[in-house]
Amino acid sequence: MVEGKFLRSEDGFSDSLKIRKKVFVEEMGFTVESVMDEWDSIAEHVIVYNEEHKIVAAGRLTLMDKQFWISQVAVLKEERGKYYGDFVVRMLVDRVFRNNGQEIWVKADENTFLFFAKIGFTAIENVPDEKEYKWVIMNLNKCNLFKKCGK
């Protein structure tokens, strides 16, 4: 059975960091500093276990300036296409809406833009960074949430 688990910094989130390092640093070439930041200590983290009880995905939710932000969503390469990333995001979205949050934000890149759009996030603005990497700020509210996984 697939299982998702919420973690706070006091619970330890080293399993989440392992997934993020493997995906973002080893696979995609980002720096370790971009994967671990000051927000980790106040964020709520999610990890997902597959049927063999192996951790295959992670993500986090942070409250910044009265806005909920989903970030660091990562799925092991060999486990992609099995809706684990969808599960991570929906767990975090559910957490926000169950706690009376009204909207959720994400900064998606060109590779994840469609993934978030399928869940119901809408593009707000394009934001290139200093390395000319293309980011899209996206937003989700309860009215836009698509209920069916992956569709």
Q: Which residues have CB under 8 Å from 36's CB, separation 6+?
A: 17, 20
Query: Phi first, then psi: what are they for 15, rounded to 5°?
Result: -65, -40
Q: How many domains does the chain have?
A: 1
pLDDT at position 10: 65
34 occurs within a structural domain: yes
Where the chain has pLDDT below 50, the residues are: 150-151
Determine, yes or no, domain membership for 149: no
DSSP annotation of 151 reads -
Q: Is residue 150 part of a domain?
A: no
68: in domain: yes
Q: Which residues contact 137 (CB under 8 A, 6 or more apart)?
A: 105, 106, 107, 123, 124, 125, 126, 127
Residue position matching structure tokens 């809408």:
122
Write out the DSSP string of 49-68. E-TTS-EEEEEEEEEETTEE
What pLDDT is attached to residue 131?
66
Give me the CATH number covering residue 23.
Answer: 3.40.630.30
pLDDT tens for 21-60 read: 999 999 988 888 888 888 888 899 999 999 999 999 999 9
> What's residue 42's pLDDT?
87
* This prediction's pTM: 0.89
- Residue 140 backbone dihedrals phi, psi, to 5 degrees: -135, 135
Within-domain flag for 105: yes
Domain housing 112: 3-144
Q: Is the residue at 151 inside a domain?
A: no
* Long-range contacts of 64-69, Cβ-Cβ distance < 8 Å, separation of 24 or more: 64/39, 67/103, 67/105, 68/96, 68/101, 68/103, 68/104, 68/105, 69/104, 69/105, 69/106, 69/107
